[in-house]
Chain A
């Protein structure tokens, strides 16, 4: 039973990271109807920036917040420079642009930092923490906490500030938003900035576990897709819950189903995507699209 709880807690830790990245995907999807395939590599690149600062001897939390700021500005810049010119193009063009971005970010990271794996520090102590009979890593607890704080702040921002309200409005109904004076283009750019910021948190929190290399977010992006699909691409809260479910499921299946083990874990994510799309395409918390005829 202790193994069970241990696996659940560590599943929640990775699940929080999947959920954060899934949330970043959902935020951009809701605003622009586009799945941003570069989301994972944007997070990877941000994590390298954090690594550079830490390598230069910056204190951890200073590097952490500086990276979030850079990620935010970078996300806004990407939207303005790369996405905006194809804003009115067919969805497929934008998808291709985001895939191009994925390749470019990965290559540039490899070119600057090489493809060798780098260890990435955790700000949390290296010793395990005992919760009753269950022993969990301090980094797991720390990662869950940081993720939850970020999600809570995002929730408060979108729920209670005028800017957050304007961003939600711009995503839902751009035409009406312009008619109340909202600068819709800038709201979309801010959305990209926030998504990049959330992704950066995910990257920094997962890097101590998976090590830092230009492809580190590849698998995690697939888990994030599974999370967003499970929770529903139209539901930010659903994406986070989906992430937690995927994280825990993946761990439990890996532990208790002998033939899956650690090697076939990624298959679980793909199986989840497939099953959700077959059984309930709008996800657990998503709304189906309704068209008035």
Chain B
């Protein structure tokens, strides 16, 4: 069976600086894939390239169909929810309005109430704060809101850009627990980009290591985590 997301020879650049030099990776249907790497390795660029937020070369296939070169809003409407770097919160809108917007791009408009119920169950704090302006939430709450907003799309694939960044360890653990639940119970495939290798490898089943725009190592997450030399030279723990 072909992978849900298949990326081949992906290249991307900002102005004159090439950031990705032919990256290949895949996300299996129902799987969790992680892309690890240091600052500036091209992790965020990879996610942005998948979503058509920057000009790219190479092939990106989603569920067998080419999506490279298509507009971001069309790619999102296929069922790819992107939780961006910096969380992308609509700070001047309420929590509930943020969530309503999450459901904007999906085909079936019905059963919104059920989806609200589901994300409020995952993130009870959002229910308490639903009338509040999203900009007044704490960093952890905004990250929860970003994940919840992505879920409102009822995505087939969830792209997560460093969800652990700047958050307390307890909050990070909570968010990762919920991502695992979403993956297991709702069958949502996940592509996770992280600097925090330990927690990402514990969650993922497949991992790629990115260095200056190239994949240097790939394999089963558990194996990468066990390999002493990789751990020491690349993952730093």
Contacts and interface: CB of A to CB of B under 8 A. Distances in A.
Interface of A: 162, 165-166, 168-169, 172-173, 175-184
Interface in B73-118: 73, 76-77, 81-82, 84, 88-93, 97, 100-102, 104-106
Q: B73, B89, B101 — which one has the most chain A CB atoms within 10 A of its CB?
A: B101
A166 B73 contact: no
Interface string B56-78: 00000000000000011100110
A165 B97 contact: yes
A184 B53 CA distance: 13
Contacts of A176: 84, 88-90
| Complex A-B, nearest 4 residue pairs according to Cβ-Cβ distance, in ascending order | A181-B105, A176-B88, A178-B72, A181-B76
A165 B73 contact: no
Interface residues of B, number: 25
Nearest to A173: B90
Contacts, number: 60
Contacts of A181: 73, 76-77, 104-106, 153
Interface string B142-170: 00000001000100000000000000000
Given A162-B100, A178-B73, A179-B88, 12 more contacts: A165-B97, A172-B92, A173-B88, A173-B90, A175-B53, A175-B84, A176-B84, A179-B51, A179-B82, A180-B153, A181-B76, A184-B73
A183 B149 CA distance: 17
Given A178-B72, A179-B72, A169 B88 contact: no
Contacts of B97: 165, 169
Nearest to A179: B82
A182 B149 CA distance: 14
Given A176-B84, A179-B51, A165 B100 contact: yes
A180 B105 contact: yes
Contacts of B106: 181
A182 B73 contact: yes
Contacts of B84: 175-176, 179
Nearest to A163: B104
B88 to A, nearest CB: 4
B101 A169 contact: yes
